[in-house]
Amino acid sequence: MKLFDCHTHLFEYPRNEISEILDRASDVGIAGVILAGTTLESSKACVALAQEDSRVFAGIGIHPMDIEGELDEYTINELRELAKDPRVVVVSEVGLDGMEGAPEHSLQERVLRAHIQIGHEMALPVIYHARFSYPRILEVLEQENAGELGGAAHYFQGSVETAYRCIDMGFFISLARPLLRMPELQEVTRKIPLDKIVLETDSYPQPFKKKRESWTEPRHIVEVAQAVADIKGVGIDEVIEQAGRNLIFMLGNRATDINALIDSD
């Protein structure tokens, strides 16, 4: 079984670099990636890229920091149409953001609720963003019965208590490279079950890093898997296999093509 990166933003790279990034991932045993849309236009770009490369799948949605107003009927219908494409496997990246300068919080909540309803209509799990937004986001997810859809807490850095609230609601905990440097996140990982963990890199262009080779790419998910293995005291193969099973379970009816990639030699 191979690793799979469940959350990236590779669409932000120049088109001529994306294949090279995916090739580097393939070279270290990464079967593929899910792209997370952040606007309507980028969601369309994610779907287009997924149609062009069998290693790529798409998420659709409006990131809370990219909200410009109410989610109008035109945008909702466009997202619904995108969600019909079999390469679309999640609603993502949607959620709440408490960072200074973020859109007004009640607006963010209304937009999140609208996305969750699209998830219900199209039977798509939700991978959600929650920066400085716990525990309120869990209340919104619960009110909208998002646990029925399942999904994952993207780039998780919360407490053990928060992790278990997510898990109890029906969400997986998505771990990324912060696990390599955050002792408190390592402790959370130690305490939650392996069968509730999925893996990601949140890859996007990082020009603030001086060396191009230091930019996070899907190939770095191997480091995350090894960190989980070390923390859990198990072999990396066990982590890879369980993370793959978890992802397939999370994606439900949309998992067929990804399952074939993960299981390929």
Q: What is the pLDDT of residues 91-115, one digit of tens each?
A: 999 999 999 999 999 999 999 999 9
pTM assigned to the model: 0.96
Residue 242: CATH number of its domain: 3.20.20.140
Q: What percent of the chain shows pLDDT beyond 70?
A: 100
What is the span of the domain harbouring residue 59?
3-263
Q: How far apart are CA 157 and CA 162, in angstroms?
A: 9
Q: How far apart are CA 61 and CA 219, in angstroms?
A: 25
* Angstrom distance (rounded) from CA 31 to CA 232: 23
Q: Give me the residue label for tokens 């659709």.
A: 60
Mean pLDDT of 47-57: 97
Is 181 in a helix, a strand, or coil?
coil
Confidence of residue 265 (pLDDT cuts 50, 70, 90): low
Q: Please name the residue that has the structure tokens 């994306």.
A: 18
Indicate the number of domains in the chain.
1
Mean pLDDT of 241-259: 96
DSSP strands (E only) in 9-163: 30-36, 56-60, 88-97, 126-131, 151-153
AA letter at 91: V
Query: Per-residue pLDDT tens for 179-201?
Result: 999 999 999 999 999 999 999 99
Q: Which residue has the tokens 């779907």?
A: 47
Q: What is the residue type of 197?
A: I
**Tens-place pLDDT, residues 60-82:** 999 999 999 999 999 999 999 99
